[in-house]
Amino acid sequence: GKSIRDRRRAKHKAHMYMVDQGKLWRVGSTAIERARARVECVTQKEAGQLAWEVHRDRGHFHRDNIKIQLMNTIMSPKLDQLITTAIM
């Protein structure tokens, strides 16, 4: 089995997430994140598609502006890289 340290760490990380209606959500855990009650965790593929849609539908603006828009609603690993790939 896992060590006690690993179990405690997993439990600590798990409190930052919840499942609601079949979707995984990250719940605010730091002062910055508390401004948003929760953000949906999406796959990298979904995040890339959303980045392209924001770029296409809301004006062809800079990568940082797209990131700000997306970070208000989603969380995904390597978001910067995905946005750059999606808009190039």
Q: What is the pLDDT of residues 29-49, one digit of tens each?
A: 665 555 677 899 999 999 999
- Indicate the domain borders of the chain: 1-41, 42-88
**Span 44-66, pLDDT tens digits:** 999 999 999 999 998 777 888 99
Three-state DSSP string of 16-64: CEEEECCEEEEECCCCCHHHCCEEEECCHHHHHHHHHHHHHHCCCCCHH
**pTM summary value:** 0.75
- Six-digit token pair at 70? 């997306």
Residue 7 has pLDDT above 70, yes or no: yes
